[in-house]
Amino acid sequence: MNYDFDWRVLWTGQSGQWLLHGLLTTLELSALAWLLAAALGILSGALRTVTFKPAALLAAFYVEFFRNVPLLVWMFFWYFGVPPLLPRAFQDWLFAHGIEFLAGTLSLGVYHGARFSEVIRSGIQSIPKTQFEAALSTGLTTGQTYRLIIIPIALRLIIPPATNESLNLLKNSSIALTISVAELTFQTRQIEAYTARAFEALTAGTLIYLILCLCIAAIMARVERRVAIPGMIARVSGAEH
Amino acid sequence: MDFSVILRNFKFLIVQGFLGFGNFTGGTLRLAVPAIILGFVLGILIGLGRLARAPWIRIPASLYVEFFRGVPLVMVIFWFWFIIPVLLRLPLPEYGVALAAFVIFEAAYLGEIVRAGIQSVPKGQVEAATATGLTHAQTMRCVVLPQALKNMIPALVTQFIVLLKDTSLASIIGYVDLTKAAQIVNNREIRPFELYLFIAVIYWLCAYGMSRYARYLERRLSPA
């Protein structure tokens, strides 16, 4: 391999600034999408376990509908496909307020919400039925049982698979570069385009992703030990695909 | 809305874009099927490597898995896009780049499936095989792997669904898969809603159909 490395391109010129901006955009995009995904996932995951059939069906429909189509196709659909159908004034408003970022957050959040839903469902289903019955027999309503007993236990149990899914979300935020959100991978490509230094730029981007993933995994392992309920051991499987 | 755009370009989208038969190399299945087969072969080596007793095999195999699981696939595709021409000193077509990237990337995930499959074989099987006088390699080949493979099948089908969805990312480097085919048609016809909805339906049918099949296999293969 005859290639002269020149690592200076990463801190001379605007490269450093671009990388920092890219990292911040990736974090912002992932954090917002994560909040949306967690909300959708907890809601639909809980609904899939209730005995009221229409609610369970609606939640199952949401999950199967969104997770079986590639994220890239969802991004194209929300970014290129939907806006032309909207009223003119709303379109103008969207284009003035960064539609790339909105479409990216929405696609990422809704897609991963469907995957979170599966994780949360298997978490709830791993809780023994007697917990539920005991809660009901103390006089709690079904809603209270879910809010006060089932969900708090389930959220603790699912920390490992949910961490895995959160890291998938973070990594998948790189797909937003296809609809020109200026996140980390996009900025890596930009450095490459300006300096023609592909390896240095890609190495920087790759290392940032690796460090982010390792840090989050380490923090979540600590959190898991912190919030564990003594004596409760249950294994929860992750999302299928 | 005008869905006749689908009918007019049906052959290009499905035969060229999805299946990969046509004037030039492309196609979602033409990329996904070889990628899962080659990825599985490499995945077996990685999975066995992670279970090896010798640290000089186990540690590199573990690092391989941890590295590729911590990096976005888009990044890996770009790496191959830039590194292969430099390494081989000749430009490789998009198909070769995409196939190499998918095989290397998927092998990390498939390796974990192989490892879990091998670990799911009860320890008594290994002891019984050793007691009959088989060597370590023979035990692996004749006793453990055949049973492990059976246990892996549902997870492999699921991983193929993931791969099928991920091949849409090959369109980023210009490989003409179903997604890129829709983009090409859209550049001419400007019908984004109809076209992207159509390919979403195609992906959905394949992925949902296979996930049902994986669930069916899981029920049928699980010891009753």
pLDDT of residue A233: 55
Nearest chain B alpha carbon to A207: B71
Whether B2 has a pLDDT exceeding 90, the answer reads: no
Contacts B69 to A, Cβ<8 Å: 213
What is the domain range of residue B46? 4-221
Among 3.90.920.10, 3.40.50.20, 3.40.50.2300, 1.10.3720.10, what is the CATH number of A7-227? 1.10.3720.10
Q: How far apart, in whole angstroms, are the C-alpha atoms of residue B74 and residue B70?
A: 12
Q: Which of A185, A158, A74, A38 is nearest to B192 (CA)?
A: A74
- Whether residue B71 and residue A70 make contact (CB cut-off 8 A), yes or no, is no
Three-state SS sequence of A9-74: HHCCCCHHHHHHHHHHHHHHHHHHHHHHHHHHHHHHHHHCCCCCHHHHHHHHHHHHHHHCCCHHHH
Q: How far apart, in whole angstroms, are the C-alpha atoms of residue B196 and residue B201?
A: 9
Give yes or no for B169 touching A (CB within 8 A): yes
Mean pLDDT of A182-195: 91
- Whether residue B169 and residue A3 make contact (CB cut-off 8 A), yes or no, is no
Nearest chain A alpha carbon to B202: A69
**Least confident window among A5-19, A178-192, B67-81:** A5-19
Contacts A188 to B, Cβ<8 Å: 75, 78
Contacts A82 to B, Cβ<8 Å: 193
Query: B101 or B92: whose pLDDT is higher?
Result: B101
Query: A234 or A156: whose pLDDT is higher?
Result: A156
Residue B122 exposed, middle or buried by CB count within 10 Å (0-12, 13-18, 19+)? exposed
pLDDT of residue B68: 94
pLDDT tens for A114-162 read 999 999 998 888 888 888 899 999 999 988 998 898 888 888 888 889 9
Give the count of beta carbons closer than 10 Å to the beta carbon of residue A186. 22
Q: Which two tokens stand for residue A96?
A: 């003035």
Between B171, B197, B204, which is nearest A68 by CB? Answer: B204
Provide the 8-state DSSP code for B132.
T
- Whether residue B169 and residue A175 make contact (CB cut-off 8 A), yes or no, is yes
Residue A81 exposed, middle or buried by CB count within 10 Å (0-12, 13-18, 19+)? buried
Query: pLDDT grade, residue A237 (50/70/90)?
Result: low
- Whether residue A178 and residue B214 make contact (CB cut-off 8 A), yes or no, is no
Nearest chain B alpha carbon to A184: B75
Between B71, B159, B211, which is nearest A210 by CB? Answer: B71
- Whether residue B82 and residue A77 make contact (CB cut-off 8 A), yes or no, is no
Q: For a pLDDT cut of 70, what percent of chain A falls above it?
A: 95
- Whether residue A205 and residue B197 make contact (CB cut-off 8 A), yes or no, is no
Q: For a pLDDT cut of 90, what percent of chain B falls above it?
A: 65
Nearest chain B alpha carbon to A175: B74
pLDDT of residue B223: 63
Contacts A80 to B, Cβ<8 Å: 186, 192, 196
Shortest CA gap A98–chain B (Å)? 19
CA B128 centroid distance within chain:
35
Query: A235 or B192: whose pLDDT is higher?
Result: B192
Task: Tally the domains of chain B.
Answer: 1
Give yes or no for A64 touching B (CB within 8 A): yes
Query: pLDDT grade, residue B204 (50/70/90)?
Result: very high
Contacts A81 to B, Cβ<8 Å: 192-193, 195-197
- In this prediction the pTM is 0.89
Average pLDDT, chain B: 91
CATH for B11: 1.10.3720.10
Whether B1 has a pLDDT exceeding 80, the answer reads: no
- Mark which residues 152-181 of A lie under 8 Å from B by CB: 167, 171-175, 177-178
- Where exactly are the structural domains of chain A? 7-227
Shortest CA gap A62–chain B (Å)? 13
Shortest CA gap B196–chain A (Å)? 6
Between B79, B169, B207, which is nearest A68 by CB? Answer: B207
Q: How far apart, in whole angstroms, are the C-alpha atoms of residue B118 and residue B115?
A: 5
Mean pLDDT of A83-104: 89
